[in-house]
Amino acid sequence: MALVLPGDEQLVTPFTFYTMSQCRPCNLDIKGNGSRSNFEHGFPGLECIHCAGPSSRKFFYRSADILAGNYAHIPNHLLSCAAAPASLKTTLTELKQRHQTQKHHLHKGDQKSFFQNIWNRLHQESNEDETMGEVGQVAEI
């Protein structure tokens, strides 16, 4: 499942779109709860596509609004991710330089819609999995 779709591109700056296109859906597992113990096992989140696997960097947010306000952790990770190619880091750095100026040209509410779309896609997949019995038992961690 793609988290960002071509139609989402008009809602945010190229920096934000590029950043979020470097993530894929994941779910919180028991061994990876760490400081995320407030989230249930199986809670949907985002995972870096470059270091994806057992020791990947994962991001979990309680709501779409929190995701929108705190997604800066994702580009910061990408810039330091050992598995991310140098060309990605160069592109991300260049896009970040224009990000603030470009943000002022967006329509009010567009960025919020973008992150709400991502949130809905993450949680729609999670709900479909639960309906199909693929997630298993949900437990508090």
Which pLDDT does position 130 carry in this prediction?
Answer: 42
Q: Which residues pair with 44 in a beta bridge?
A: 27
Which pLDDT does position 52 carry in this prediction?
Answer: 83
Please tell me the pTM assigned to this model: 0.82
Residue ranges in the chain modelled with pLDDT below 70: 31-37, 125-141
Which pLDDT does position 135 carry in this prediction?
Answer: 31
**3-state per-residue secondary structure call for 47-106:** EECCCCCCCCCEECCCCHHHHHHHCCHHHHHHHHCCCCCHHHHHHHHHHHHHHHHHHCCC
Which pLDDT does position 31 carry in this prediction?
Answer: 65
72 to 96, 106, 123, 125, 138: CA distances (angstroms): 11, 18, 21, 24, 29
What are the pLDDT digits (tens) for 28-51? Answer: 887 655 554 678 888 999 999 999
Candidates 76, 18, 74, 72; CA nearest to 45 is 74
